[in-house]
Chains A and B, each alone.
Chain A
Amino acid sequence: MNTGTQSTNNSALYGLLAEFETPGALLEAARRTHAEGYRKIDAYSPFPIEGLAEAIHVHRNRLPRIVLLGGLVGCFVGFFFQYYAAVIDYPLNVGGRPFNSWPSFIPITFETTILFAAFTAVLAMFALNGLPQPYHPVFNVERFEHASRDRFFLCIEAGDPKFDALATRAFLESLQPEAVHEVEP
């Protein structure tokens, strides 16, 4: 099917990258690309754009639940470390007060809850995003350095079942981007 016009064929391509000048244009393009039936797509922008992730990707954000779990573990660990130290391992009678004087364990329990939840949030974010990632094909496009400055990119990956080097390029050009770049794998 892809007979390699302009040295282009699917196997030598990671995808096609359209460059836009404004966040609005990118958002609109992302919506239309998704509506067109493309699924292996990603958008790149120099700052978060509301609704962009939802426009290209039906994804449930599991982070809040993971963080809650991390916090609960921290809470448990914090309290039972103190319980273990003060009641089981080294019970110390301070003025006849109970060994399990839980009100005085609250501050440390609170701190470990926050500590575990915060680390869970950051580590889970990195894990779900697949970072650190030393290599990614989009960096092969010279213009892509503007993705961290002032340009907005939409990439349709070659792995998409609907991908066709010519038709996809034509579709992307119909979205009126500033340019369409080929992404080498």
Chain B
Amino acid sequence: MAQTETLLNKLAKYRQEAPVLAPGHTYGSITDKVSAIVLTRKTPKGWILGFTITFAGVMMLFAALAYLFVKGVGIWGINNPVGWGFAIINLVWWIGIGHAGTLISAILLLFRQTWRTSINRFAEAMTLFAVACAGIFPLIHVGRPWLAYWLLPYPNTMALWPQTRSPLAWDVFAISTYASVSALFWYIGLLPDLATLRDRTKNRWVRLIYGVLAMGWRGSAVHWSRYETTYLLLAGLATPLVLSVHTVISFDFAMSIIPGWHATIFPPYFVAGAIYAGFAMVLILAIPLRAIYGLEDFITTVHLRNMAKIMLATGLIVCYGYAVEAFMAWYSANEYEWYMMWNRWTGPYAPAYWALLFCNLVVPQLLWIEKVQSSPLWLFVIAIVVSVGMWLERFVIVVTSLHRDFLPSAWGMYYPTPWDWATYLGTIGLFFALIFLFVRVLPAISIFEMRTLVPVEEHK
């Protein structure tokens, strides 16, 4: 009895120490604080610096793409055994990063997790921009990107249809659906906040722009009721969609017969990896954002701890995936499978494999420590390590399986060229440039949902 009491006390104390919204806020103060970032506050110097650097990255991406369109995919390091290089590695990496955004908005909404409220808006923006970066790669890797629309089903003069029995055609549908639904979800979430910005601004032109985007939203009770239904339905639709998208991406590998790819663990293992990488990216974005704009009241220690716990859990699922891959390679007694595994451990790309285990398995174990869970600096560093680790994971999966296939006469090595790196780093520049623009012109935190977190007592 006494024990339960102390436990309850502890819980109450924990809640008091770390609420989802810092005490003392009213509807008005939340509205003003978040809308001021967009409307009245001076653009911070860090923003200008960051945007300049990332915009240079965008320019690098354009240069790399222009040269690619002139010369063809021969400028990349892909060759005969390894026909899939950076393009597919980066596609899978980026699309995985997008997943945490939808997870936060949709699944946590369905589970009525109020802590999602302060982070869902920019997590959704992160999803959109990550999917945009991901989408570039399958388009450009086809070699003749101006013909990429052939992947879409339309009655063409050649009387040809895309082959819908192929996982690559599934990809087209999965990614384009995911991008469209994420955009809808994001815009619907923004609608009431666009109305808030319209009503707050003093500038006529700015009011016109936000006014058009807000579509005349006025917060009518009947509108709100339909709005909430729509939002919940979209969440319910987006939840299986997220899981299906990364499942389909894993089918790109698993439907083949290549050792190291042809595995039933792939769909769940890829989905967990996506959430893992995604939450790492949310932390990478959230930690500087709250520091620069002073949003510690809204993105509190509770958020950091919860995200740390999700990263820990999904990280362990991913590591289970690594273990199953190794176990199945041995247990299947298939010599190609076992050779693939042995080659990962001791072959020319072994350093990448061991580095990935260090990044994804060893370092994240620090998240068990409570102090680390609530330390922004530690979390930031771990999140970057995990992002690198997840990229290495995709590199190892793609390259080690391809470069040693069934016949030793067909073996070869894969080395990315500077153009590979320029394209990859260029998309990172594009992603962060879009994020910078987003926090400047749109409310990075959902204002209307934050209002619902104001304790009722404050207003009785």
Bound CA–CA A47/B177 (angstroms): 29
Q: How far is the CB of B455 from chain A (nearest CB, A)?
A: 12
Bound CA–CA A82/B200 (angstroms): 50
Bound CA–CA A119/B448 (angstroms): 23
- Among residues of A, the one whose C-beta sits closest to the C-beta of B180 is A115
Q: Does B218 belong to the interface (CB within 8 Å)? A: yes
| B225 in complex: contacting residue of A23, A48, A114, A133, CB < 8 Å | A48
In the complex, chain A residues 9-54 whose Cβ is within 8 Å of any chain B Cβ: 21-24, 30, 42-49, 52-54
Residues of B within 8 A of A94 (CB): 165
- Whether B220 pairs with A44 at a CB distance below 8 angstroms is yes
- Whether B165 pairs with A122 at a CB distance below 8 angstroms is no
- Whether A114 pairs with B177 at a CB distance below 8 angstroms is yes
- Whether A122 pairs with B225 at a CB distance below 8 angstroms is no
- Whether A149 pairs with B237 at a CB distance below 8 angstroms is no
- Among residues of B, the one whose C-beta sits closest to the C-beta of A145 is B199
Q: Does A131 belong to the interface (CB within 8 Å)? A: yes
Bound CA–CA A82/B32 (angstroms): 52
- Whether A48 pairs with B226 at a CB distance below 8 angstroms is no
Q: How far is the CB of B189 from chain A (nearest CB, A)?
A: 11
Q: Does B460 belong to the interface (CB within 8 Å)? A: yes
Residues of A within 8 A of B233 (CB): 63-64, 67, 117, 121
Given known contacts A125-B226, A149-B31, is B237 in contact with A117 (CB within 8 Å)?
A: yes
Q: Does B417 belong to the interface (CB within 8 Å)? A: no
- Whether B244 pairs with A107 at a CB distance below 8 angstroms is yes
- Whether A61 pairs with B221 at a CB distance below 8 angstroms is no
Q: How far is the CB of B299 from chain A (nearest CB, A)?
A: 19
Interface size on B, residues (CB 8 A): 62
Q: How far is the CB of A51 from chain B (nearest CB, A)?
A: 9
- Whether A44 pairs with B221 at a CB distance below 8 angstroms is yes
- Among residues of B, the one whose C-beta sits closest to the C-beta of A92 is B163
Bound CA–CA A138/B163 (angstroms): 54
Chief secondary structure at chain A's binding surface:
helix
- Among residues of B, the one whose C-beta sits closest to the C-beta of A101 is B165
Residue with the highest number of chain A CB atoms closer than 10 Å, among B167, B223, B238: B223
Q: Does B24 belong to the interface (CB within 8 Å)? A: no
- Whether A47 pairs with B451 at a CB distance below 8 angstroms is yes
In the complex, chain B residues 194-240 whose Cβ is within 8 Å of any chain A Cβ: 195-196, 198-200, 215-230, 233-234, 237-238, 240
- Whether A133 pairs with B181 at a CB distance below 8 angstroms is no
Residue with the highest number of chain B CB atoms closer than 10 Å, among A86, A94, A107: A107
In the complex, chain B residues 383-419 whose Cβ is within 8 Å of any chain A Cβ: none
| A48 in complex: contacting residue of B185, B227, B237, B459, CB < 8 Å | B227
Q: Does B449 belong to the interface (CB within 8 Å)? A: yes
| A112 in complex: contacting residue of B173, B219, B220, B222, CB < 8 Å | B173
- Whether B164 pairs with A149 at a CB distance below 8 angstroms is no
- Among residues of A, the one whose C-beta sits closest to the C-beta of B196 is A148
| B226 in complex: contacting residue of A44, A61, A132, A147, CB < 8 Å | A61
Given known contacts A22-B460, A149-B28, is B177 in contact with A131 (CB within 8 Å)?
A: no
- Among residues of B, the one whose C-beta sits closest to the C-beta of A154 is B221
Q: How far is the CB of B413 from chain A (nearest CB, A)?
A: 33
Given known contacts A46-B448, A112-B173, A131-B216, is B221 in contact with A122 (CB within 8 Å)?
A: no
In the complex, chain B residues 224-267 whose Cβ is within 8 Å of any chain A Cβ: 224-230, 233-234, 237-238, 240-241, 244, 248, 251
Q: Does B438 belong to the interface (CB within 8 Å)? A: no
Bound CA–CA A139/B220 (angstroms): 12
Q: How far is the CB of B398 from chain A (nearest CB, A)?
A: 21
- Whether B221 pairs with A45 at a CB distance below 8 angstroms is yes
Residues of A within 8 A of B167 (CB): 107
| B221 in complex: contacting residue of A30, A126, A131, A149, CB < 8 Å | A30
Q: Mark A85-114, 1 if CB is under 8 A from B, else 0.
A: 110011010100000010011011011101
Q: Does A129 belong to the interface (CB within 8 Å)? A: yes
Q: Does B169 belong to the interface (CB within 8 Å)? A: yes
Q: How far is the CB of B20 from chain A (nearest CB, A)?
A: 15
Q: Does A128 belong to the interface (CB within 8 Å)? A: yes
Given known contacts A49-B221, A63-B229, A112-B177, is B153 in contact with A85 (CB within 8 Å)?
A: yes
In the complex, chain A residues 50-80 whose Cβ is within 8 Å of any chain B Cβ: 52-57, 59, 61, 63-64, 67, 71
Residues of A within 8 A of B221 (CB): 30, 42-45, 49, 52-53, 55-57
Q: How far is the CB of B120 from chain A (nearest CB, A)?
A: 15
- Among residues of A, the one whose C-beta sits closest to the C-beta of B240 is A114
Residues of B within 8 A of A49 (CB): 221, 224
Residues of B within 8 A of A52 (CB): 221, 224-225
- Whether B165 pairs with A86 at a CB distance below 8 angstroms is yes
- Whether B170 pairs with A107 at a CB distance below 8 angstroms is yes
Residues of B within 8 A of A150 (CB): 26-28, 31, 451
Given known contacts A94-B165, A117-B237, A121-B237, is B215 in contact with A126 (CB within 8 Å)?
A: yes
- Whether B251 pairs with A111 at a CB distance below 8 angstroms is no
Q: How far is the CB of A166 from chain B (nearest CB, A)?
A: 26
Residues of A within 8 A of B70 (CB): none
- Whether A53 pairs with B222 at a CB distance below 8 angstroms is yes
Q: Does B188 belong to the interface (CB within 8 Å)? A: yes
Bound CA–CA A46/B220 (angstroms): 9
Query: What are the nearest 7 A-B pairs in CB distance?
Result: A85-B161, A53-B225, A132-B215, A150-B27, A133-B216, A145-B199, A150-B28
